[in-house]
Amino acid sequence: MRDYKIKHLALHTFLAALIFAGSNSTNLNRANAACCVGCTSADCSAVVSENVIPQNHSDYTPEIQEDISDQFNDHRGWASDDFLKNEFVPGLQEVIEKTIAEGTETIFEIGKLFDAKHLSETKREITEMRYDAFKDYIPSQSFCTFGTTVRSLTHTEIANKATTEALSHRQMIRHLGTKNAAGANSADGDKKTRWDLFKKVYCDPTDNNWRDGMVDSGLSSICLSTATKSASSRPYYSQERTNIDIDYSRAVENKRLINIYGPEWANSDEEIDILSLGNNLYGHNIITRNISANALKDPTMAERYLELRSIVAQRSVAENSYNHIVGMKSLGTPVVSGGSTPIETNQFFGKAIQNLGYGSNEVVDYLGINADDWGTESADLGQYATLEVLAKKLYQNPKFYADLYDTPTNIKRKSAALKAFELMLDRAIYESELRQELAMSVLLSSRLKKYTRDQNSKLGSQ
């Protein structure tokens, strides 16, 4: 079949050459005509024999053209029917099908690759988010220290304010001579009660130029000392309490915890000491009780009594700072009666102070409490000591700075906690400055009272 096609193609090429070669016949005829003019007969016969092909060309041209047309039609039919339909198109379809199949398989492989890629990335992101959540939502142990410290601070602040109010109310009762108060009958009764307490508790026999070996030297004749008197006559005596009713440093300043609880009477020695110190600091001479009901009917006497009340009001302003200081150092939560343990915050404070290098026995001395009444973990600190731990003592432990190597989220939590402690301190300082400002204004007013009276007298005399 292939050889046949090659032969046909060669024949067609030859015929095409013959067809397109007809253009030279005209020139050849012209040459013959020129040759026949003036030439011999022998030459002309030769020329005539050479014109055989051109003369017969016109006779065979239609046949040749028809044959070529048939050949082209056959070739076109072969190209369209045999080659395209039977060979090229099926082959092309097969190639396309294989290409599609291979492409589809390749797409599946690529899809699997992308699925694996996305799955790996998703698992990685989920794992990272899981660990981030684990890291961010679990506070560190050092941060929990802050939460444990402030756990009872709200209740402690309320209890301390109750202590302040109780002290202020008690002092007001003493100044005004309310029923059942010491010295309610007379000002002399107030001093007598205080004198008896002094002899039993606060008197130091070695004061007032006491000399060894001399009878009744110093205050030995006055003090109901266990050395000279029976123990039953001075049951509250202890060396630590001598002169503490006039010693602010020992009674208040050097103590971080005072055994006083405002909501209820703790019946402790420190309560009596604080009240005795307040009596000596504010209102040593209480206002007179010798004012009868008939005397108050006199307008002049009524005016004097109002002036006495003004003095009591000024004393209450001055005494308010003292009561606030004592209140901030009072108990946050007392030991529950019946032997129950207090809230666990006190246990943490004892351990936190020991972590600073204090021994278990030194914690009691640091807090300034009586070791006979309290253990290292049995007294709940007041507002003053709590703020001191939050704002000062926690940062004296090197472990605090080592714990700063923490997650960014926990560092932010610690920063927020420290900012909250700073605000607490600022608030306490602000309230202290308000009390100081009030005391200064009352002091200025009392200093100006004399000049006010003089000016009023001058204006009244004119």
Give residue 325's pLDDT. 94
Give mean pLDDT, residues 396-416: 86
pLDDT band at 437 (very low <50, low <70, confident <90, very high): very high
Model pLDDT, residue 321: 92
Per-residue confidence (pLDDT) for residue 18, from 0 to 100? 47
In this prediction, residue 341 carries a pLDDT of: 45
**pLDDT higher than threshold 90 for residue 117:** yes
pLDDT of residue 24: 45
Q: Tens digit of pLDDT for each residue in 326-370?
A: 999 988 765 544 444 445 566 677 777 888 888 777 777 777 666
Task: List CB contacts of 455: < 8 A, sequence separation 6 or more.
Answer: none
Q: Which of helix, strand or coil describes residue 161?
A: helix
d(C-alpha 258, C-alpha 272), whole Å: 11
What's the confidence (pLDDT) of residue 362?
Answer: 77
- Which of 405, 376, 268 has the alpha carbon at shortest distance from 326? 268
Is the per-residue pLDDT at 65 higher than 50? yes
Q: What is the mean pLDDT of residues 239-245?
A: 87
pLDDT band at 49 (very low <50, low <70, confident <90, very high): low
> Which residue is it, tokens 């799955």?
119
Q: What is the pLDDT of residues 192-232, one digit of tens each?
A: 989 989 988 888 888 888 787 777 778 888 887 544 444 44
CA dist 89 and 76 (Å) reads: 16
223, 199 Cβ separation under 8 angstroms: yes
Q: What are the C-alpha distances in Å from 406 to residues 118, 317, 414?
A: 32, 48, 10
Average of per-residue pLDDT across 114-139? 89
Report which secondary-structure segment, H or E, holds 419. Answer: helix 408-461
Is 50 exceeded by the pLDDT of residue 252? Answer: yes
| pLDDT tens column, 368-403 | 666 565 555 556 778 888 888 888 888 888 888 888
Helix 153-176 and helix 299-328, axial crossing angle in degrees, nearest 10: 150
- 292-327 pLDDT, tens per residue? 778 778 888 888 888 888 888 999 999 999 999 999
Mean pLDDT of 133-148: 79
* Lowest mean pLDDT segment, chosen from 28-37, 270-279, 434-443: 28-37
Say if residue 59's pLDDT is above 60.
yes
Between CA 65 and CA 75 the distance in angstroms is 15
Of 90-104, 194-208, 233-247, 363-377, least confident by mean pLDDT is: 363-377
- How large is the average pLDDT for residues 406-414? 86
- More confident of the two residues 51 and 335: 51
| Mean pLDDT, residues 57-73 taken together | 81
Average pLDDT over residues 100-107: 86
The pair of three-digit structure tokens given for residue 292, joined into one six-digit string = 């009868």
Nearest alpha carbon to residue 410 among 136, 114, 167 = 136
Q: In the structure, what pLDDT confidence band is assigned to residue 159 with cuts at 50, 70 and 90? A: confident
- Nearest-CA neighbor of 314 among 222, 454, 439? 439
H/E element, 326: helix 299-328
The share of the chain scoring above pLDDT 90, in percent, equals 16
Per-residue pLDDT, averaged over 52-58, amounts to: 66
Report, as an integer, the average pLDDT of 451-457.
83
